[in-house]
Structure 1
Amino acid sequence: MINKSVFPDGREPMRIHFDRQIKRIQRDVLRMGALVENSCFLARQALFDQDLEAADKIARQDKQIDRLYKQIELDCVNLIALQSPVAQDLRLLSAMMQLVRDLERIGDYAKNLGDIAMRLFSYPASPYMGQIKQMFDRCQAMLAISLASLSDLDAQSGLDMRDRDDAVDSDYDTLYALLAHQQNVPGAVEPIILQVLIIRHLERMADHSTNIGKRVAYIVTGQR
């Protein structure tokens, strides 16, 4: 509770009020990150355990993610417009606005993966799903590390994401070559197309996780 003997009119100094709003936005960003991380976990269940209930949960959770994204963006805009933040605060707020866009896109890709899982359900298991699962696990780890770097404001951990992204890009190239260059494919080609979509979504998710790491480094160091 604010000590009114320190602030006789009962109002906080502008800086304290501003800092509290910043911390609330940071908490909301981490809450959004936790929801996105859970969507990725559900997508993994849907794809590799054929858990179609998990796919349904992603769609419902995606609406929560979208609402939180819009609220955070609005809160950042209002702080910038109404509080005239100093350079360091402006850097933080602008990076947060970009960062939640990355999170929102990862959430969208997780939802798309859930939709793909439902379409793949009726087809026989692909011999490439083990390799796709490995690629998925790399992407999941990248998201977890990027969120940890955000929580700790760890610039180095954020920058280290680039090496992990290279590994995911290598997975993508290998799997794309295997999937796209098949000949004399028996039966429907839709499963192959869907698997190509999976690895494309995973590659983009890794890119957005890398962006989050870069934005954390920018918040801490001021260097792009």
Structure 2
Amino acid sequence: MSEQGTHIVAAYDEEFQRLTKQITQMGALAETQLQAALQAVERRDEKLAAKVKDQDKQIDAIEREIDALVMRMLALRQPVANDLRFILATLRCSSEVERVGDYAKNMAKRATALSQMPVTPLTRGVARMGALVQAMLKDVMDAFLQGDVEKAVEVWESDEEVDSLYTSLFRELLTYMMEDPRHITPCTHLLFIAKNLERIGDHATNIAEIIHFQVEGEMLADRRPKADASNYTVMDPDDDDLGEDAEEDPGR
């Protein structure tokens, strides 16, 4: 191989390493942001909530870096086969992770509002749901970096449990509000937080599907029906929470 050819290969390898480092950093930030948002809700911590909202800018910045690097690699390197699938999978994964950051930021906004209201015991239900979603996010990012299809499928299947918890919590919160009108405002914030968690679970599931396609070269068959809480939905938190920060999530 000529000296020029060696240089091109080395530069290509370096770009792959940089892309992997960026998506790793982005995933770690999203995991940290979600954990902090849940802690801000549980502890009624306004300062921590403010930190979560600020951290979202870092995630957005890394996504832009990934976009630029992917465009460069596609234009200059013309990757094929496994390389192309990895690059495109990373691009799609970064978009999903960015949405996770948006939802964590929205939870932090709700945590700030909740910190100024009477304590409601139903935050424990949110904490249980949050712990499951946290585990899903961590596992799916590990699966992405390891190319672990089996772990990705496990995450994909566990989303059904998140949907079930959301539906149960939704009903419980509505009952709580009907029993005492004073609970309406704090429980509404908790409803939005629960919906944000449910959507984060959806994005973790999307990443699992991306992993399956990247490794296996085919789509993950949708053999798991999506739990439907639409009969109980009285509002769409996307319209309220995401605003100018993101487009409306089409959901699953």
- Sort the Cα spacing of 1:127 and 1:92 in 2 relative to 1 into closer, same or farther, 3 A: same
The alpha-carbon deviation at position 17 of structure 1 amounts to: 2.3
TM alignment of 1:1-224, pairs within 5 A:
8=3, 12-181=6-175, 182-187=177-182, 189-224=184-219
User: Which whole-Å deviations, capped at 9, do the CAs of 1:198-221 have from their partners, x for residues lacking one?
Assistant: 110000001111111221222211
Measured on the aligned residues, the alpha-carbon RMSD in Å equals: 1.6
- Does the residue aligned with 1:183 lie in a helix, a strand or coil? helix
Q: Which runs of 5+ in 2 are unaligned?
A: 220-252
Q: For residues 104 and 145 of structure 1, what CA distance do their matches in structure 2 show?
A: 17
**Count of paired positions:** 218
Percent of residue pairs identical: 31
User: Which whole-Å deviations, capped at 9, do the CAs of 1:74-114 have from their partners, x for residues lacking one?
Assistant: 11122112211113222111111110011000011111111
- The two structures have a TM-score, normalised by structure 1, of 0.91
- Bigger Rg, which one: 1
Q: For residues 95 and 148 of structure 1, what CA distance do their matches in structure 2 show?
A: 14
- The two structures have a TM-score, normalised by structure 2, of 0.82
User: Which whole-Å deviations, capped at 9, do the CAs of 1:100-147 have from their partners, x for residues lacking one?
Assistant: 011000011111111100001121121211111100000001011011
Q: For residues 88 and 175 of structure 1, what CA distance do their matches in structure 2 show?
A: 42
Q: For residues 103 and 44 of structure 1, what CA distance do their matches in structure 2 show?
A: 17
The alpha-carbon deviation at position 189 of structure 1 amounts to: 2.0
- Does the residue aligned with 1:127 lie in a helix, a strand or coil? coil
Q: Which runs of 5+ in 1 are unaligned?
A: 1-5
**Which residue identity is paired with 1:85?**
P
Q: For residues 219 and 124 of structure 1, what CA distance do their matches in structure 2 show?
A: 48
**Which residue identity is paired with 1:178?**
E
